[in-house]
Every structure is written in structure tokens, then in C-alpha cells.
Amino acid sequence: MTTTTYKKREDGRKFNELRPVEAEVGIIKRADGSARFKIGKTEALAAVYGPRELVPRFMQNPKRGILRVHYNMMPFSGSGNRVKPGGNRRSKELGVVIRDSLMPVINLNEFPNAVVDIFIEFPQTDAGTRCAAITAAAMALADAGLLMTDLVSSVAVGRIADKIVVDLDYSEDSHEEGTDIPIAIIPSTGEISLLQMDGFMTKKQLFEAINEAKEAVKHLNAVQMKALKNKYKAEE
């Protein structure tokens, strides 16, 4: 499939190394739950509102509450020109796949006809935004005190020429011989709740990449747990 070799990452990371990460919980006081997650130069803010009444009423589910995810890039958060506010097809799709990645761990059976809204905003981006969004949103849901069976942690893995790499930045994501695979994992079961791919990959390479993702999310999950515990430590 490829003849070239990817020798070295531009920022000097090892092929399986994440960018530096930061996590913080409870940053938006008016929200019911909130979190900030930063990985390299990609930064996601997540705020949870609800459960609250869902209007219009025809959208309500009498059996359980519904989850809505809103993904949005701030106008100055792109790598080139200004991002026009108001969303587009891409942000709609991302809202849907992020919601699906969180649904397996969240239980809204106690809240018929209600909605939980998660708003995710990016002050800055350098690839991996949907993964950062999921990692931040899981913390924000936990911060809101909703019933969850676990957190969800997410990272992009992929292939650049002959190498499997973890946590691609923008220059790698746009590499002409690059394949990008955003993955979300439920840490306690190892199940996968987000899986997308753009580019070419053999089956063997795919599983190699998934294994790398499983290793990487162990660290992300530890960072999430620490941020959640820190908030309650600070409040004591």
C-alpha cells in the first residue's frame, strides 16, 4: 500500500505518545456540569444543562430522557480563515456521533420527556476535536451528577505512511499518506463507542491501531478521574 517511511514526528513525539493534556471540571458556574479538556493545541469546553423540559413537546420521549450534543467551533478557532458562526453539516454530524459515543454509559430512564443538552465549544483547534469533545463531555456529564456506568475516553489514532501513530495533530491529519481513526472507548469494558476512519488501512493495521488507542485512553481516563476528584477535593 505504501513505499515511503514516516521517520519522525514534527513535534518530536514518539509514535504512540499523546500530546500534553490538561483537564479541569466545574469551569462554567451557570451550567449544571462542565469541563475543559486540552490536548496539545486542541481545547474543548463542555457544558451540561438539564435534565430540563424538552420543547417542542412532540420531540419528547415518554420512556426516558434524551441527550443532545451541540458541537461548535469558535469563530477564531480554526487554523486558517475565520470560521463562520452558525454551524454546518460537519458540526451536525459530529454532534450525532459524539452523542452516540456517550449513550452507552448514561442512564436517563428516570427523566421521561426531559432533555440533557451538552454544548461543546473550541477556543482553539489542532485536529482531534471530536475526541477532545467526548473526553470533555464525559467529565461534564459526571460533574452534572447524572447516573453513569463509566466515563468515556477518546483519542484519534491512525497511519502515516508505514507507521501507526497516536493522537494526530493537524499536520499529520492532513498528511497525504495519512489515515485518521477517531476512537472512543469505555474504559471498564474496553468496548468501542465511536469508530470512524478516513483513508486506507489493512485489517491488521486497524487492529494494531485499536490496540494503541486502548493503551492511550488508559492515561486519558486517569486524567479525567483526577480532574473530577480534584473538584470535590477543592470544595471540602
Partner 1 sequence: MIIDKRKFIDVLAKGIRFDGRKPDEFRKVKIEYGVTRSAEGSARVTLGETIVIAGVKMEVSKPYPDTPDQGGLMVGAELLPLASPEYESGPPGDWAVEVARVVDRGIRESHSIDVKKLLIRKAELAWTVIADMCVINDAGNILDAASIAVLAAMRDTKFPKLVGDVVDYKTITKEKLPIKETPVAVTVYKIGKELFVDPTNEEEGLADARLTITTIEDGTLCSLQKGGESPLSVDEIDKMIDIAVKHAKVLRKSL
Residues engaged in binding partner 1 (CB under 8 A):
27-31, 34, 41, 43, 45-47, 49, 52, 70, 72, 74-82, 85-86, 117, 119-121, 123-126
CB of 70 to partner 1, least distance (A): 6
Smaller CB separation from partner 1, 114 or 192? 114
Alpha helices by DSSP H, listed for 9-88, are none
Smaller CB separation from partner 1, 105 or 140? 140
Smaller CB separation from partner 1, 1 or 59? 59
Show the cell assigned to 94. 459530529
Contact yes or no for 36/27 (Cβ under 8 A):
yes
CB of 85 to partner 1, least distance (A): 6
Would you tell me how many other CB atoms lie within 10 Å of the CB of residue 190? 10
Smaller CB separation from partner 1, 81 or 109? 81
CB of 124 to partner 1, least distance (A): 4
Could you tell me which of 34, 13, 226 has the C-alpha nearest to residue 143? Answer: 34
Alpha helices by DSSP H, listed for the chain, are 89-102, 129-143, 170-173, 203-235
Smaller CB separation from partner 1, 124 or 196? 124
CB of 167 to partner 1, least distance (A): 17
What does the DSSP 8-state code read for residue 56? S
CB of 190 to partner 1, least distance (A): 31
Contact yes or no for 156/168 (Cβ under 8 A):
yes
